[in-house]
Amino acid sequence: GSVIGILGGGQLGRMLSVAAARLGYKTHIYEPMANPPAADVAHAVTTAPYEDLTALEAFAKSVAIVTYEFENIPTTALDAIEAVCPIHPNRRALSVSQDRLIEKSFLRDLGLATAPYAAVDDATDLAEALDEIGAPAILKTRRLGYDGKGQARLKSVADADTALADMQGASAILEGFVAFSHEVSVIAARNLSGEVAAFDPGENVHEGGILRTTTVPARLTEAQRTDAVLLSAKILNALNYVGVMGVELFVTPKGLIVNEIAPRVHNSGHWTQNGCAVDQFEQHIRAIAGWPLGDGSRHSDVVMENLIGNDIDRIPDIAQERNAAIHLYGKAEARPGRKMGHVNRIAG
Ligand code: ATP
Ligand code: MG
Ligand code: MG
């Protein structure tokens, strides 16, 4: 069969590779760091930085299509690949999700609700933004943030100086603090023929900025569930998107507010591995490889728990539990905050 190229060799690339193999494809991983989690299960691995355009070109020539497991791919790397073969999801999806300011204005232009926001490049901007938006608020770097990194919370205007210092000179946006009751996400897919499907929304709990658990079904009314799915489809269609996307939402009494989108398979979609006939990883491969989308309807209630850092030491106990499906990423060293694996506990 043909080869699918994946930029990024972390756990998402690993699980994409496994799904691709089940559909008869080989994968070629491109990853700057040596011995990434995906290397164990991939057909080929290129270890080179994203600045190495010669390596990127050779990689692109060895595959039929390219996809990615993380969104911070430099534009020059995209150029080098796109000259050789198609990349899904497309460039617009990447550029929108790479920059929180562009992302927010894209969502707002679609008529979707976001937190109030303003661009902040210096102390004057921040003072004006705080005037307009008020406190509490969150200052976030526009680019490169994940797992709550590159963010500073402002309880009051008095926190302005320390928050700005935390940005270390990077362009940022100030977001008004959304008083949400809980957080949910939609994992949605769109294929090459424009077919769209969404998994049941999951309810997400974060700890220290990192996803801790996802529970399905989420606490949503039927109207909220429909709204969540329809607004996600609107985002995918607007981007002419191909692949799986994660759409993070805040649930408030006034309705759903879009927090951010991720143009890739998403940690909050890991429950689908044991809750659906076709999981998010297979759905992504189907979408980008020109297949019809699979049946992602939920057959079980699931609680997904991330195993972070030393949580991995609990594996002997978790292994004794009934209905606990264990997914480990093969990472040697359990550093604090590092995602080592996850467990899907199936109800009943
Ligand atoms: P991810 O790992 O999901 O990519 P991230 O670093 O991009 O995370 P966000 O998703 O923007 O960060 O924020 C992390 C968490 O912080 C959110 O899931 C939410 O709990 C909280 N948060 C972010 N923005 C706001 C906001 N405007 N109001 C209230 N809470 C917020
Ligand atoms: Mg994010
Ligand atoms: Mg997030």
Q: What is the pLDDT of residues 113-134, one digit of tens each?
A: 999 999 999 999 999 999 999 9
What is the distance, to the nearest Å, from the Cα of residue 61 to the centroid of all Cα atoms in its chain? 27
Rounded Cα distance, 88 and 107, in Å: 20
Over residues 136-165, the mean pLDDT reads 94
pLDDT for 146 equals: 86
pLDDT in tens, 27-60: 999 999 999 999 999 999 999 999 999 999 999 9
Rounded Cα distance, 169 and 323, in Å: 48
Q: pLDDT band at 267, cuts 50/70/90?
A: very high
**Residues with Cβ–ion distance below 5 A, ligand 3:** 248
CA-closest candidate to residue 214, choices 206, 222, 223: 206
Residue 208 has pLDDT above 70, yes or no: yes
**Atom 26 of ligand 1 has which residue's CA nearest to it?**
177
**Atom 3 of ligand 1 has which residue's CA nearest to it?**
147
- Ligand 1 in reach of 178 Cβ (< 6 A): yes
Residue 88 has pLDDT above 80, yes or no: yes
**Residues with Cβ–ion distance below 5 A, ligand 2:** 260
Q: pLDDT band at 148, cuts 50/70/90?
A: confident
Domains of the chain: 3-87 (3.40.50.20), 116-176 (3.30.1490.20), 182-346 (3.30.470.20)
Q: Ligand 1: which of 259, 261, 270 to mutate, judged by most atoms within 8 Å of the beta carbon?
A: 259
Ligand 1 centroid from CA 25, angstroms: 35
> Beta strands of 109-268 (E only): which ranges?
117-120, 137-141, 151-154, 172-176, 182-190, 196-198, 202-207, 210-216, 243-252, 255-262
Residue 348 has pLDDT above 80, yes or no: no
**Atom 12 of ligand 1 has which residue's CA nearest to it?**
148
Q: What is the pTM of this model?
A: 0.97
Percent of the chain with pLDDT over 70: 100
- Ligand 1 in reach of 248 Cβ (< 6 A): yes
Residue 299 has pLDDT above 80, yes or no: yes
ipTM of this complex: 0.98
Ligand 3 centroid from CA 1, angstroms: 35
Ligand 1 centroid from CA 210, angstroms: 9
What is the distance, to the nearest Å, from the Cα of residue 177 to the centroid of all Cα atoms in its chain? 21
pLDDT in tens, 214-238: 999 999 999 999 999 999 999 999 9
pLDDT for 147 equals: 84
- Ligand 1 in reach of 206 Cβ (< 6 A): yes
Over residues 181-198, the mean pLDDT reads 98
Please say whether the beta carbons of 37 and 13 come within 8 A.
Answer: yes
Ligand 1 centroid from CA 39, angstroms: 30
Which amino acid is present at 49? P
- Annotated binding residue at 147? yes
Q: Crossing angle, helix 91-98 and helix 75-82, to 10 degrees?
A: 170
Q: What is the DSSP secondary structure assignment for residue 149, as one 8-state letter?
A: T
pLDDT for 266 equals: 98
- Ligand 1 in reach of 306 Cβ (< 6 A): no
- Ligand 1 in reach of 146 Cβ (< 6 A): yes
**Atom 2 of ligand 1 has which residue's CA nearest to it?**
147
DSSP string, 20-46: HHHTT-EEEEEESSSS-GGGGG-SEEE
Please say whether the beta carbons of 321 and 348 come within 8 A.
Answer: no
Ligand 1 centroid from CA 58, angstroms: 37
pLDDT for 1 equals: 59
> Beta strands of the chain (E only): which ranges?
3-7, 26-31, 44-47, 65-68, 117-120, 137-141, 151-154, 172-176, 182-190, 196-198, 202-207, 210-216, 243-252, 255-262, 302-308, 324-328, 339-346
